[in-house]
Structure 1
């Protein structure tokens, strides 16, 4: 196992989950003052992310049956998702998101559902990466991702307690995500052709 794949996994996780930090921070803000908030968010995040990994791995195994020349075109998935996110960000520009919801207990399945639903772009990005990485590489990516989920939960908690940072992520996360997805899609296309 090369050190390069570890760094690639860390980078891929970070760029595909930047939007998740805002959501995690919002969950922590929502559950402020309630017992079990950190536990419920952590378990929900792991449950939802395990679903994302399972879906991406299953699709990647199916993608391995494609002719090798077709695999780079899987880069069109994150590219399309990035364009879609950019269009949505453009449509939403200028809208006021309002204030954070009032404090209330956070449920594990609620976090898992939001994590999985928010991970559609992750699945689209992970499938071509997993398909080209092979079983060993896919395993490394999955293990690194699952380790980093704990760090992401900690970061979400940290941001929830830093209003200035949370506002900045909320303001610019919608711009960064489309750029990253488009970049990943182009990179997969260019490297594979």
Structure 2
């Protein structure tokens, strides 16, 4: 593998996915203390990112799965999941006695995958020309580096979610922050993409 290509791939991944660390930290905080949640979040992140790569590689080499006009409407996924999380947070809020709300199983893999894929709609637009000009061997290096860095991103998200100060803030405010971040992300994708004539 060419060291220059590896460095370029790492830099491109970091620049296009920095916001994922925040979202992953919120997911890990939501799943704290819930059996199997870390595995589900990681699996969801990999599934969503693999879907981004499949679409980007296919588009770079001529087989477009998603027309450009559809990409902005991916914002509906995080918007719907944010509204669902807000509803669940409101429904499970502490009762008058201050008891802890009933815990569900935490984030589901498909929910994480949907958010990852929707959030990566703009990444596809960046990756396609890079992959198209890198050829098959260069694209393979990018894909391998990206998949390794997904694991690093998951570890970073979990690390931030388990730092005492951050964990305390996320534990206290995560049920509010996660829906807000997802709803905001969905709206940004919809508006920036010009969905519904916005």
What is the TM-score when the length of structure 1 is the normalising length? 0.63
**Any idea what SS the aligned residue of 1:20 has?**
helix
User: 2: CA distance between counterparts of 1:8 and 1:56?
Assistant: 17
Unpaired stretches in structure 1, ≥5 consecutive residues:
64-76, 82-97, 171-193
CA distance in 1, matches of 2:59, 2:160: 33
Alignment partner, residue 143 of structure 1: 144
| CA distance in structure 2 between the partners assigned to 1:162 and 1:129 by the alignment | 36
- C-alpha distance in structure 2 between counterparts of 1:15 and 1:164, whole Å: 26
Q: Distance in 2 between matches of 1:163 and 1:148?
A: 25
CA distance in 2, matches of 1:53, 1:31: 26
2:28 is aligned with 1:25? no
Aligned to 2:185: none
Partners in 1 of 2:166 and 2:149 — Cα distance?
A: 20
Aligned to 2:61, the other structure's residue is in SS state helix
1:45-84 maps to which residues of 2 (within 5 A)?
A: 45-62=45-62
Distance 1:59 1:127 in 2: 6
Compute the displacement of 1:159 (Å): 1.2
TM-score by length of 2: 0.62
Partners in 1 of 2:166 and 2:55 — Cα distance?
A: 32
Separation of aligned partners in 1, 2:19 and 2:164: 16
Aligned equivalent of 1:162: 163
Tell me, what secondary structure is at the counterpart of 2:35?
Answer: coil
Deviation track 1:93-118 (CA, whole Å, cap 9, x = no partner) reads: xxxxx9xx676411110111111011
Can you give the 5+ residue segments of structure 2 that lack an aligned partner in the other structure? 73-85, 93-102, 170-176, 178-198
**Where do 1:93-172 residues align within 5 Å?**
104=104, 105-162=106-163
Residue 40 of structure 1: aligned partner = 40
Instruction: Specify the alignment match of 2:191 in structure 1.
Output: none
In the TM superposition, what whole-angstrom CA distance separates every residue of 1:117-155 from its partner, at most 9, and x where no partner exists?
111111111011101101000000001100111110000
Question: What's the offset of the Cα at 1:161?
Answer: 2.1
Report the number of matched residues: 135
Provide, for residues 22-60 of structure 1, a one-character-per-residue CA deviation record: whole Å limited to 9, x for no partner.
110010111111100110011101110100000000110
Following the alignment from structure 1 to structure 2, what is the Cα–Cα distance between the partners of residues 164 and 55?
38
